[in-house]
Chain A
Amino acid sequence: MREISQSVVKKDHGPKVDGSALYVGDYPTQGMLFGKLVRSPHARAQVLGYTLPNLPEGYFAVSAKDVPGVNQVHIVKDDSPVFADTTVEYIGDPVLMVVGPEEREVNRLAAETVVEYAPMTPELDILKADTVFFDYRFGSGEVEQAFEQADRVYEEAFETGYQEQAYLETQGLIAEFVDGKITVRGSMQCPYYIHGALAKALNLPPDRVRVVQDVTGGGFGGKEDYPSILACQVAVAAVKAGGKPVRVVYGRREDMEFTSKRHPSLCTYKVAVKDGRVTAMDIDVLFNAGAFTTLSAVVLQRGIIAAPGAYRVENLRVRGRAVKTNTVPTGAFRGFGAPQTFFAVEMMMDHIARDRGEDPLAFKMRHLVRQGDATSTQGRYHFPVPLPEMVAEVEAMSGYSAKHNAYEQPQTGRFRKGMGVSLWFHGAGFTGSGERDLIKATVRLHKEPNGRVEILASQTDMGQGIKTTLCKIVANELNLPLDQVAYENPDTDRVPDSGPTVASRSLMTVGELLRRAAITLRGQWLPGVDQVVEEHFKEPDFVIPFYLETFQGDAYPTYAWAVCAVEAQVDTLTGVNEVLGAWASFDVGTPMDHNIVVGQMEGGLLQGLGYASMEQMAADNRGRIRNNSFTDYIIPTSMDVPVMQVNLHVQEYPLGPYGAKGAGELPLVGAASAYMAAMEQAIGENIRHIPFTAEDALDALSARQKEAQAHDERN
């Protein structure tokens, strides 16, 4: 293990454990005003007007007409309004905010506000949706020819559902407007995203906008774009609050029902096989974007880039669409489009292998990409692909082959077992040329005369430990003890824009910038003098530029890799299924801190297993999400996956700090298909959707039994 990988006590450990860490909801509320959003009960309607109840002294309301700037939240395409104006587009779409000094009274007044709607017919079905937000196509080779010449063509469709981030700390922000400057603080991943959104909505120059991150209790992508929307709403209220701070901290139900979630998907795969090899894939990916575009363009991009999986597919056609439905806008969640398509491609390959009478793992391994191969978008896998070694590691940890072979034999007991394996990658860093053209990250190191160094960057620690790991990098290059390097929660008044905390980019991209800045500082170091060093992102030379118009090039500079085996069991009497063990090997390059990275891998893996099974969330036929509490949206407890083992396979990335690569999202992406492959073996039926519930399992077992009986009767 490299010395830097050795675990240290996290810099923010103490206050989190003794309860003194202040999250946004912990600040004393004396003198603050509370805000409560009034939301549409209709999935689609015209807004005809509203009537406020009698507002006592000190209470007021804000709506679209109070937005000083543009009634749009700047995310990517800016079609989300700050407040719904003439129409509402989903159940929960905010129309106005009631504000005042007593929270209970504010809630009562909000409940008594009457908004007049003319309901319209909502579009809730992605197959019928006629507004296509984004439509991308790419491919290579001779797909039609390959299908004509195929020995066999397989076609299947796969469905995935919502997944809710379920961070333990709900969304919350406090806004204050004093002397023409707006300050917003709170729970967030991207201070500068919020900064940009506020400037536009309030029509303020950049230096009249300040955004400060508080200790943030989890994000997972759920606090990537959503806080920009809430920030604009709270800020508009703050502008009318006479200098008083306005606070909105969501309760769990409001958060679960109305904030962004993972895109539900329908992926159709048509695969040509000739002489035992996959020769072509024709893939159609359909994502449910909800009512507004928000991040769907990029989620879709990442999803379709991952669509052929870790396999060499010489003839490829991919089409991806993100369509509008009148439901809550979907957004970012760890994996960002890839979990959907990796579920589909892994199950597809499993099904083809089984149909051919081949072992799924052996079949998959015959198709793995290797260093030098083209990526799905005609970039290159510039660096080694360690999947074969990682498969061996997982085999050793899990006993995959022996178990898989054993469970392949007919099982007759009440409990049936299965063993599944999946392989995947996650593109490290921001998709395409975004890092170069949009983010243009800048970092600074500020060295005080006493020798203490402060990192100035806009990355947010939401539990993934970058406060510690970024400091380790700088401390290491400057040969300083760790406590001489500081990283405060970012404040846009003090730090440059080093980009959002997303896309598994913070450690790899920003960490490397900081390392170079530290090297520069080391070279220029003057004792007793105040110094500042700045560093700017430069795209590595080897990267084949990516162009969205052609959808070609290196979508990512490098990839993180994963292999996961899951042993599962199903109760034939009840369909209840559980994970008996999950074993995985992850290559995220050099871990900047062993315990921190292992913790990230374990946490993400469990989220991926939850995505496959218990985490069920659906909109009903009116477009309402009914499971809006921890009682009804089921996430894993400590009892649910007691055996989970993770191995770090280190394939150093030369352009990451000490060989590190993007890590955060990887572990979640492919876990679901390993679990479902195990379930397929246990049940004896193909699985084509997640979440796969106990009821689904019982139905599948019943179908299997009927087939077996019919087979017996025929013979």
Chain B
Amino acid sequence: MTNGIEFTLNGTAVVFEGSATARLLDVLRDTYGLTGVKCGCKEGECGACSILLDGRLVNSCMVAMGRVAGCDVVTIEGYAKTERFKTLDAAYAAVSAAQCGFCIPGMVLASECILAKNPNPTEEEIRDGISGNLCRCTGYNAIVKAIQIAAKEGAGLW
């Protein structure tokens, strides 16, 4: 019987032996080496640390480890192995949506959640879906366009 926190991380069962109050963001980066999960503010205001928790978008900086017991955590590293990612990747590439890149892993996961909810989202739904992901480089237009392209090209995937 373990005192650790059992959860699934990018499809693999893992046990975290540290404090239940530790920040998920820190644990993902420092314990599991998943540096695709970025830290932009550590206050839940920028979305750079976005991950999927049981399929829902959350800011990993706002999650304590005890919360993820028994849950499914997916970071950009895990998501990047999926078919859906390939479609988003190609869409983002087509409009050169990645400028400095720091917001992008979070944006990609937010994109997934938008399309999972509605495979044919309106522009307003897209903008609302990424409203918690701050980007300083792009002005957001290219990212919105990328999600629209993915919706079109990824017919059937979502």
Once bound together, how far apart are the Cα atoms of A629 and B45, in whole Å?
A: 9
Given contacts A218-B137, A607-B136, contact A629 B101 (CB under 8 A): no
Once bound together, how far apart are the Cα atoms of A12 and B100, in whole Å?
A: 9
In-complex Cβ contact of A630 among B39, B43, B103, B138 (8 A): B43
* Contact partners of A20 in chain B: CB under 8 A: 36, 77
In-complex Cβ contact of B138 among A12, A23, A219, A602 (8 A): A602
Judge if A637 is at the interface, Cβ distance under 8 Å.
yes
In-complex Cβ contact of A168 among B29, B46, B76 (8 A): B46
Interface residues of A in 1-34 (CB under 8 A from B): 7, 9-10, 12-23, 25-26, 28-29
User: Closest chain B residue to A249 by CB distance?
Assistant: B39
Q: Contact string, A600-618, partner B, CB cutoff 8 A, digits 1/0?
A: 1011111100000000000
Interface residues of B in 31-63 (CB under 8 A from A): 33-43, 45-46, 48
Given contacts A169-B102, A637-B131, contact A251 B42 (CB under 8 A): yes
Once bound together, how far apart are the Cα atoms of A22 and B96, in whole Å?
A: 19
Once bound together, how far apart are the Cα atoms of A463 and B137, in whole Å?
A: 7
Given contacts A12-B101, A17-B104, A599-B99, contact A630 B141 (CB under 8 A): no
Q: How far is the CB of B96 from chain A (nearest CB, A)?
A: 4
Once bound together, how far apart are the Cα atoms of A462 and B136, in whole Å?
A: 12
In the complex, the answer to whether B41 meets A629 with C-beta atoms within 8 Å is yes
Judge if B113 is at the interface, Cβ distance under 8 Å.
no
Judge if A299 is at the interface, Cβ distance under 8 Å.
no
In the complex, the answer to whether B41 meets A252 with C-beta atoms within 8 Å is yes
In-complex Cβ contact of B123 among A14, A28, A642 (8 A): A642
What is the interface residue range for chain B against chain A?
35 or more
Q: How far is the CB of B103 from chain A (nearest CB, A)?
A: 5
Interface residues of A in 639-667 (CB under 8 A from B): 639, 641-642, 644
In-complex Cβ contact of B42 among A7, A16, A19, A252 (8 A): A252
* Contact partners of A631 in chain B: CB under 8 A: 43, 45
* Contact partners of B85 in chain A: CB under 8 A: 18
Judge if B93 is at the interface, Cβ distance under 8 Å.
yes
In the complex, the answer to whether A465 meets B40 with C-beta atoms within 8 Å is no
In the complex, the answer to whether B137 meets A630 with C-beta atoms within 8 Å is no
* Contact partners of A604 in chain B: CB under 8 A: 139
Given contacts A606-B139, A629-B45, contact A18 B89 (CB under 8 A): yes
Of the candidates A18, A25, A165, A606, the one having the most CB atoms from chain B within 10 angstroms of its own CB is A18
Once bound together, how far apart are the Cα atoms of A467 and B142, in whole Å?
A: 19
Judge if A202 is at the interface, Cβ distance under 8 Å.
no
Q: Contact string, A441-469, partner B, CB cutoff 8 A, digits 1/0?
A: 00000000000000000000011110000
Judge if A593 is at the interface, Cβ distance under 8 Å.
yes
Judge if A342 is at the interface, Cβ distance under 8 Å.
no
User: Closest chain B residue to A601 by CB distance?
Assistant: B139
In the complex, the answer to whether B92 meets A13 with C-beta atoms within 8 Å is yes
* Contact partners of B30 in chain A: CB under 8 A: 29
Judge if B13 is at the interface, Cβ distance under 8 Å.
no
Q: Contact string, B73-94, partner A, CB cutoff 8 A, digits 1/0?
A: 0011100100001001100111
* Contact partners of A599 in chain B: CB under 8 A: 96-97, 99, 137-139, 142
Judge if B16 is at the interface, Cβ distance under 8 Å.
no
In the complex, the answer to whether B36 meets A10 with C-beta atoms within 8 Å is no
Of the candidates B37, B100, B143, the one having the most CB atoms from chain A within 10 angstroms of its own CB is B100
In-complex Cβ contact of A17 among B75, B92, B135 (8 A): B92
Judge if B158 is at the interface, Cβ distance under 8 Å.
no
In-complex Cβ contact of B136 among A9, A218, A605 (8 A): A218
* Contact partners of A602 in chain B: CB under 8 A: 138-142
In-complex Cβ contact of A638 among B35, B89, B133 (8 A): B133
* Contact partners of B105 in chain A: CB under 8 A: 17, 19
Judge if A167 is at the interface, Cβ distance under 8 Å.
yes
* Contact partners of A218 in chain B: CB under 8 A: 99-100, 102, 136-137
Judge if B134 is at the interface, Cβ distance under 8 Å.
yes
Judge if B130 is at the interface, Cβ distance under 8 Å.
yes
In the complex, the answer to whether A464 meets B99 with C-beta atoms within 8 Å is yes
In the complex, the answer to whether B98 meets A169 with C-beta atoms within 8 Å is no
User: Closest chain A residue to B35 by CB distance?
Assistant: A26
Given contacts A605-B139, A639-B128, contact A252 B43 (CB under 8 A): yes
Q: How far is the CB of B7 from chain A (nearest CB, A)?
A: 19
Given contacts A19-B80, A635-B136, contact A595 B98 (CB under 8 A): no
* Contact partners of B88 in chain A: CB under 8 A: 17
In the complex, the answer to whether A19 meets B77 with C-beta atoms within 8 Å is yes
Q: Contact string, B119-150, partner A, CB cutoff 8 A, digits 1/0?
A: 00001101110111111111111111000000
Q: Contact string, A169-185, partner B, CB cutoff 8 A, digits 1/0?
A: 11000000000000000
User: Closest chain A residue to B99 by CB distance?
Assistant: A463
Q: How far is the CB of B71 from chain A (nearest CB, A)?
A: 20
8 contacts between A and B (CB under 8 A): A23-B38, A217-B38, A599-B138, A603-B137, A630-B40, A638-B130, A638-B131, A638-B143
7 nearest interchain CB pairs? A19-B36, A463-B100, A16-B101, A217-B102, A602-B139, A463-B99, A19-B76
Known: A19-B75, A629-B41, A637-B140. 20 other contacts (CB 8 A): A12-B101, A17-B88, A17-B92, A17-B93, A19-B35, A19-B76, A26-B35, A29-B30, A167-B102, A218-B137, A252-B46, A603-B137, A605-B139, A606-B140, A629-B43, A629-B45, A637-B131, A638-B126, A638-B135, A644-B141
